[in-house]
Amino acid sequence: MATVTLEGVRKIYPDRGKPSVAVHQFDLAVADGEFVVLVGPSGCGKSTTLRMIAGLESISEGTLRIGERVVNDVPARDRDIAMVFQNYALYPHMTVHQNLAFALTLRKLPRREVDARVRETADLLGLREMLDRRPRQLSGGQRQRVALGRAIVRQPQVFLFDEPLSNLDAKLRVQMRREIAALRRRLGTTTIYVTHDQVEALTLGDRIVVMRDGRVLQVDTPSVIYQRPADTFVATFIGSPPMNLLRGRLVNGVFHHESGDFELPIRAPGAPDQPVIAGLRPEAVRLVPPGEGAAAEVNLVEPLGSETLVTLGAGSVVIVVRVEGTTPVKLGDRVGVSVASDAVHWFDAVRETRIS
Ligand code: ADP
Ligand code: MG
């Protein structure tokens, strides 16, 4: 196992003479044995960052260390890293056993050791009965397990995962996510995991790195990212349904939405006297009897069994509320809206960054 350190890492692609910056300035210190998730929308530079760490893409500027060693110019095969891709990248003409054994055989490990490691890995992943099959004789989940196995069998210093679950259907994705979490606890190998899925980030990461447009917006534990998002992008990207964002101003304990359509009492001591964005998580909003709190109308009710999502409208303002279990409110009802003052996130109206 090893630490992974990126200092001022940049990636500039020469795009037909017009260079484009894919990663601006990436600083991150991954601790030995830590599981870090890079999350962000498509095109934000996650794969590019991972591929630079793997040695599959050159580093334009900055320093990359694995352990104490600077590896900017070390070829991929000498970095002692194993990568798992979304598309599995298995050898179709080889059996599962041969796929798992391939990297070890290349390294000229004794046959007995190769065999022992392959069997141990197959047991770990429930592939024991599949060793003689070829990839096309496997389900998607089994193929992804072989891809994981090929990484595990090498016992590398670092695992890199690039959206490994994206090709699986929703149910299998949840199952494999849990298997990866369990493997992680067993192996304890330093891991950097890329995904666009905020649920994977929240459930797998010791820490999450939220990226946008080639930049790192916030690095922290899942609970801090959720409870103290650094800006409105992080606030709405992490958490589902996303945080409600309302532009306006707080005057004498009442939040006035800029449209004039919505006035919400919030007794927030020390709240900023400036144009703000108020962030309300769906679970932080309470439905109260009409006449109390702010006035709104029910536009949509979505019962999900354990919870119900209620979409409220007040003029141009739309607010999604999460209610535990079921609710008697129905389409067209007039309701009141209230929030606890400490449940409101305040963001600067111009920079959209958190006001602490
Ligand atoms: P993500 O994995 O977060 O979806 P990528 O790292 O694949 O994002 O891409 C980041 C940006 O770099 C995108 O704008 C993409 O178009 C660009 N890019 C990726 N690979 C190349 C390449 N080989 N040449 C030029 N531009 C690229
Ligand atoms: Mg990608």
The alpha carbon of 227 and the centre of ligand 1 are apart by a number of angstroms equal to 30
The alpha carbon of 13 and the centre of ligand 1 are apart by a number of angstroms equal to 8
Q: Tell me the C-alpha distance between 93 and 59, whole Å.
A: 34
In this prediction, residue 89 carries a pLDDT of 86
Task: Report the length, in residues, of the chain.
Answer: 356
In this prediction, residue 1 carries a pLDDT of 77
Q: Tell me the C-alpha distance between 190 and 246, whole Å.
A: 40
The alpha carbon of 162 and the centre of ligand 2 are apart by a number of angstroms equal to 7
Q: What residues does 320 pair with on adjacent strands?
A: 311
In this prediction, residue 64 carries a pLDDT of 98
Best substitution site from 16, 26, 44, 48 to test ligand 1's pocket, by max atoms within 8 Å of Cβ? 48
The alpha carbon of 55 and the centre of ligand 1 are apart by a number of angstroms equal to 16
Q: Which residues contact 248 (CB under 8 A, 6 or more apart)?
A: 255, 256, 257, 258, 262, 275, 276, 278
Residue nearest to atom 14 of ligand 1 (CA): 43
Q: Is 43 left (phi over 0), alpha (psi -120 to 50) or beta?
A: left
Pinpoint the alpha helices (H) of 96-153. Answer: 96-106, 111-124, 140-152
Q: Is 210 in the pocket of ligand 1 (CB under 6 A)?
A: no
**Angle, alpha carbons 341-347-350 (nearest 5°):** 145
Q: Tell me the C-alpha distance between 304 and 285, whole Å.
A: 18
Q: Is the dihedral of CA 78, 80, 83, 89 positive or negative?
A: positive
The alpha carbon of 164 and the centre of ligand 1 are apart by a number of angstroms equal to 18
Q: Is 44 in the pocket of ligand 1 (CB under 6 A)?
A: yes
Residue nearest to atom 17 of ligand 1 (CA): 22
Residue nearest to atom 1 of ligand 1 (CA): 43
Q: Is 325 in the pocket of ligand 1 (CB under 6 A)?
A: no
Low-confidence stretches of the chain (pLDDT < 70) are 269-271
Q: Is the dihedral of CA 90, 93, 98, 104 positive or negative?
A: negative
Q: Tell me the C-alpha distance between 167 and 202, whole Å.
A: 20
In this prediction, residue 226 carries a pLDDT of 98
Q: Is 327 in the pocket of ligand 1 (CB under 6 A)?
A: no
In this prediction, residue 271 carries a pLDDT of 67
In this prediction, residue 270 carries a pLDDT of 66
Q: Is 42 in the pocket of ligand 1 (CB under 6 A)?
A: yes
In this prediction, residue 350 carries a pLDDT of 96
Spatial strand order in the sheet of 35-39: 81-84, 158-162, 190-195, 35-39, 207-212, 215-220
